[in-house]
């Protein structure tokens, strides 16, 4: 009888050292596949460590524990079915198994130990059960192909470096159960654009360092709160808030996309002299977004923005209207080189170039000051359309902002007009 294995197992595999119910060591590093005997309960610490040729391992339902570093460095192991009988997976159990593509952790396991799947660079799918309370330090670090992970609401702590350098990770949801996220937990996740963190969750040092350039971390409900604050400030006449709120409605960021609302708030900010809002309003008129297409009004708002030095508005006037503001309005050069003021700019005719007949009046317009000051009835309606139309709507805005003093204002139209005039005079 071999001293290394039981006699009954001699013909099955002579390369494993098994003592009682513990698989102690694999002595043949060149093995490509192993079927673990059904009486084995524990895969010992480092049992298959360094078996770089091993690509298949079959574990029986009798196994209850996979020891630390059990399969460390098994770089050709492509899959492993962890039986539901397993309660413990030790630290570094699958460390460096770079060919492992998927893994399902059984519900009997309560912790993903430190470094369990470190460097599993081809791991694309992992199922974390609703029994896991803690994801340990570096548990999934450098799993560079892992694109998404669903963290169950049983998890209370995500350890340091847990998902660091998961460069393809672009989607992760943090449940309300998580009370702490450790240092550098998601550092180097260069594809991660945003993440929402529950209120009250403690965030460590450099938890999201070196994520994507546009990365944004926000608390649950933060976006809704910001929208309410923007609405509050916009109603009181803050032009930056008005323009930003218009952008939110235009893009659907934090609110349902609504081009009519976007135009309304762009118009409010544009009337106060915000050049970005003037350009945005011009684009809406030019393309017929949120209101009826009107090239004349588009030119008017582009011009207002252009004379404040807005580059995009200046370019739009040149390319689509053949207007050089340096020659049409001698108030400000607006970035146009002096030598270009005396010659027609050379431009490529865009596909959406306005027909000359649509803009004949521009050549006849001698007083641009008077032209850009004109307001028709449609724009006048837009200007006042953000005033609450009913008592309920007024109360709703008051609730959002907590501005009880609004109840004391008899003429809200006059109040807003006065606030706007004051802001415009300051500019």
β-pairing verdict for 16-19 and 22-26: antiparallel
Contact assessment for residue 169 and residue 191, using Cβ atoms and an 8 Å cutoff: yes
**26 - beta bridge partners?**
16
What is the token pair recorded at 77? 């192991």
Per-residue pLDDT tens digits for 399-413: 444 444 444 445 545
Helix axes 239-251, 222-235, angle to 10 degrees: 130
Place of tokens 């006849």: 364
User: What CA–CA distance (Å, rounded) separates 260 from 295?
Assistant: 18
Q: What is the reported pLDDT for 225?
A: 64
User: What CA–CA distance (Å, rounded) separates 175 from 173?
Assistant: 6
Whether pLDDT at 420 is above 60 = no
Strand extents, DSSP E, 54-118: 56-58, 65-66, 79-80, 88-89, 102-104, 111-112
Per-residue pLDDT tens digits for 40-76: 999 999 999 999 999 999 999 999 999 999 999 999 9
* Three-state helix/strand/coil letters over 277-310: HHHHHHHHHHHCCCCCCCHHHHHHHHHHHHCCCC
What is the token pair recorded at 408? 């004391």
- Domain ranges, ordered by start, for the chain: 226-421
Contact assessment for residue 247 and residue 409, using Cβ atoms and an 8 Å cutoff: no
Q: What integer best gives the mean pLDDT of the chain?
A: 80
Per-residue pLDDT tens digits for 224-274: 667 888 888 889 999 988 999 999 899 888 788 999 999 999 999 999 999
Whether pLDDT at 340 is above 50 = no
Per-residue pLDDT tens digits for 287-306: 999 999 999 899 999 999 99
What is the token pair recorded at 279? 């350009």
User: Residue 393: is it exposed, middle or buried by C-beta count within 10 angstroms (0-12/13-18/19+)?
Assistant: exposed
* 418 vs 378: which has the higher pLDDT: 418
Neighbours of 369 (CB within 10 A): 8
* 36 vs 382: which has the higher pLDDT: 36
Q: What is the reported pLDDT for 221?
A: 57
Sign of the four-CA dihedral 287, 291, 294, 298? negative
């Amino acid at each position: 009888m071999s001293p290394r294995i039981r006699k009954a197992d001699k013909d099955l595999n002579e390369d494993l050292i098994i003592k009682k119910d513990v698989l102690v060591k694999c002595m043949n590093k060149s093995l490509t596949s192993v079927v673990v005997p059904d009486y084995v309960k524990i895969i010992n610490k480092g049992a298959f460590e360094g078996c770089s040729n091993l690509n298949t391992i079959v574990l029986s339902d009798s196994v209850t524990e996979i020891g630390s570093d059990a399969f460390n460095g098994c770089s050709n192991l492509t899959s492993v079915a962890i039986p539901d009988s397993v309660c413990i997976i030790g630290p570094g159990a699958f460390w460096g198994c770079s060919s492992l593509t998927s893994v399902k952790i059984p519900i009997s396991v309560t912790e993903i130990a430190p470094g369990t799947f470190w460097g599993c660079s081809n791991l694309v799918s992992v199922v974390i059960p609703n029994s896991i309370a803690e994801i340990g330090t570096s548990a999934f670090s450098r799993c560079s192909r892992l694109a998404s992970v669903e963290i169950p609401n049983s998890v209370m702590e995500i350890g340091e470096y847990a998902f660091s350098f998961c460069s393809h990770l672009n989607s992760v949801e943090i449940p309300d159960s998580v009370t702490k996220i450790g240092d550098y937990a998601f550092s180097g996740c260069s594809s991660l654009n945003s993440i929402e963190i529950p209120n009250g969750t403690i965030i460590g040092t450099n938890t999201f360092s070196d994520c994507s350039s546009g990365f944004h971390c926000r608390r649950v409900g933060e976006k809704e709160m910001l929208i309410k604050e923007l609405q509050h400030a916009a109603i009181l006449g803050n032009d930056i808030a008005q323009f930003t709120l218009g952008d939110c409605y235009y893009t659907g960021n934090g609110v349902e996309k609504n081009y009519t609302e976007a135009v309304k708030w762009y118009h409010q900010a544009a009337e106060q002299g915000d050049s970005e809002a003037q350009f945005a309003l011009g684009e809406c008129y030019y393309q017929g977004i949120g209101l009826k297409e009107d090239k004349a009004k588009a030119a008017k708002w582009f011009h207002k923005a252009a004379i404040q030095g807005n580059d995009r508005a200046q370019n739009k006037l040149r390319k689509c209207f053949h207007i050089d503001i340096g020659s049409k309005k001698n108030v400000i050069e607006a970035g146009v080189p002096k030598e270009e003021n005396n010659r027609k700019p050379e431009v490529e005719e865009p596909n959406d170039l306005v027909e000359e007949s649509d803009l004949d009046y521009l050549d006849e317009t001698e007083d641009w000051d008077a032209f850009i000051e004109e307001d028709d009835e449609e724009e006048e309606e837009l200007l006042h359309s953000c005033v609450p139309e009913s008592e309920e709507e007024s109360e709703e805005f008051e609730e959002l902002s907590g501005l009880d003093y609004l109840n004391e204002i008899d003429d809200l139209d006059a109040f807003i007009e006065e606030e706007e005039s004051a802001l415009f005079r300051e500019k």
